[in-house]
Amino acid sequence: MTIRKAVIPAAGLGTRFLPATKSTPKEMLPVVDKPAIQYVVEEAVAAGLEDVLMITGRSKRTLADHFDSVPELESALEAKGDEKRLAEVRHSSDLANVHFVRQGQPKGLGHAVLCARHHVGDEPFAVLLGDDLIDERDPILPTMIELQQRTGGSVVALLEVDPEQVHLYGCAAVEPLEGDEDQVRITGLVEKPDPADAPSNLAVIGRYVLNPAVFAVLDETAPGRGGEIQLTDALATLADMPAEQGGGVYGVVFRGRRYDTGDRLDYLKAVVRIASDRPDLGPDLRAWLTEYVKTLP
């Protein structure tokens, strides 16, 4: 069954970015001149997923506003003949069919995904976490979608990290899949393990293509790490289930550029790297950076 729907959990409080996120959702922080969430929606659309469901919470109204049209701004730009900005303003509202549902209670990522059950129905779907920004030049969703279609199971994106970083992520035990050394079968998953208990240094990053069987499993998944319903725990259950019941979990190892925009230092790196590569800002920024670096101790 072709995959058409993307789910973007965006109910988090953004505590790592306070005070900026006191009244602004973290997803709306600009990366150069676009809110972080727009990159994520653009990535989904580029992979053919034009039906986007955001799982939001309180104080997230600006997210809905960003993907809606703004007639007064559009007519002002039209009157000025500013076609370029008009196109940019219209782009975010024309991009995708964006829907919203509220999570209500902060019961974890697994619970957020479960809130998508009614909208998604009985078809495979993608989940994209807003903090993970995948560079558009290194797309991974198409490969994950292909693997989901081939296996019928669920697929996660994996990243090789330093063993000391594993405690920040879901961590996978894997075995090779024939044909491609960057594709694996997942035999176990642990949410944020101590380095000593980690089955590998393969971390789950925020891209998933899931069999809808995950909903029934999430419904039965007890709160795990941090007292929250963990998507990782539901995937560990699916990994042990037979294919006829929607089980089987696979991984695609990501080797491209990715930024954790929820982390302040990584956020700054993302802004500098993305701006340096842009034709409008890059030449001037790179020239300035080269001079600036010389002044550093």
Furthest CA-CA distance within the chain = 63
Distances (CA, A) of 101 to 11, 25, 52, 60, 182: 10, 16, 11, 11, 35
Q: Is residue 6 a contact partner of residue 125, using CB atoms and an 8 Å limit?
A: yes
Say how many C-beta atoms besides its own lie within 10 A of residue 164's C-beta.
Answer: 9
205 is a site residue for ligand G1P (CB under 6 A): yes
What type of residue is 240? D
Nearer to ligand G1P, 125 or 208 (CB): 208
Q: Which is nearer to ligand G1P, 43 or 132 (CB)?
A: 132
Residue 215 binds ligand G1P (CB under 6 A) = no
Binds ligand G1P (CB under 6 A): choice among 52, 55, 109, 214? 109
Using the contact rule CB under 6 A, the part of the chain among 69-77, 93-101, 204-212, 249-257 near ligand G1P is 204-212
Q: Toward ligand G1P, which CB reaches closer, 4 or 225?
A: 225
Helix/strand/coil percent split, the chain, to 5: 40, 25, 35
CB of 169 to ligand G1P, least distance (A): 3
Minimal distance, residue 254 CB to ligand G1P, in Å: 12
Is 124 a binder of ligand G1P (CB under 6 A)? no
Closer by beta carbon to ligand G1P, 5 or else 207: 207
Locate 237 and state its tokens.
């259950």
Site size with ligand G1P, rule: CB under 6 A: 14
Q: Does 51 bind ligand G1P (CB under 6 A)?
A: no
Q: Which of 27, 43, 51, 191 binds ligand G1P (CB under 6 A)?
A: 191
Establish if 129 lies at the interface with ligand G1P (CB under 6 A): yes
Which three-class secondary structure state does DSSP give residue 128? strand
C-beta closer to ligand G1P: residue 49 or 128: 128
Q: Decide whether 117 or 167 has the Cβ nearer to ligand G1P.
A: 167
Binding segment toward ligand G1P, per CB under 6 A, in 60-68, 137-145, 225-233, 249-257: 225-233
CA distance to 82, 89, 101, 277, 289, per residue, from 280 (Å):
17, 18, 37, 9, 15
For residue 132, what are its two tokens? 């993970």
Does position 249 interact with ligand G1P (CB under 6 A)? The reply is no
Residue 77 engages ligand G1P in binding (rule: CB under 6 A): no
DSSP for residue 51: E
Residue 27 touching ligand G1P (CB under 6 A) = no
Out of 132, 213, 261, 275, name the contact with ligand G1P by CB under 6 A: 132
Nearest C-alpha neighbor of 45 from the set 4, 86, 8: 4
* Interface pick for ligand G1P out of 92, 183, 201, 232 (rule CB under 6 A): 232
Query: Residue 217: which H helix or E strand, with range?
Result: helix 213-220
3-state SS track over 129-182: CCCEEECCCCCCHHHHHHHHHHHCCEEEEEEECCHHHHHHCEEEEEEECCCCCC
Contacting positions for ligand G1P (CB under 6 A): 109, 129, 131-132, 169-170, 191, 203-206, 230-232
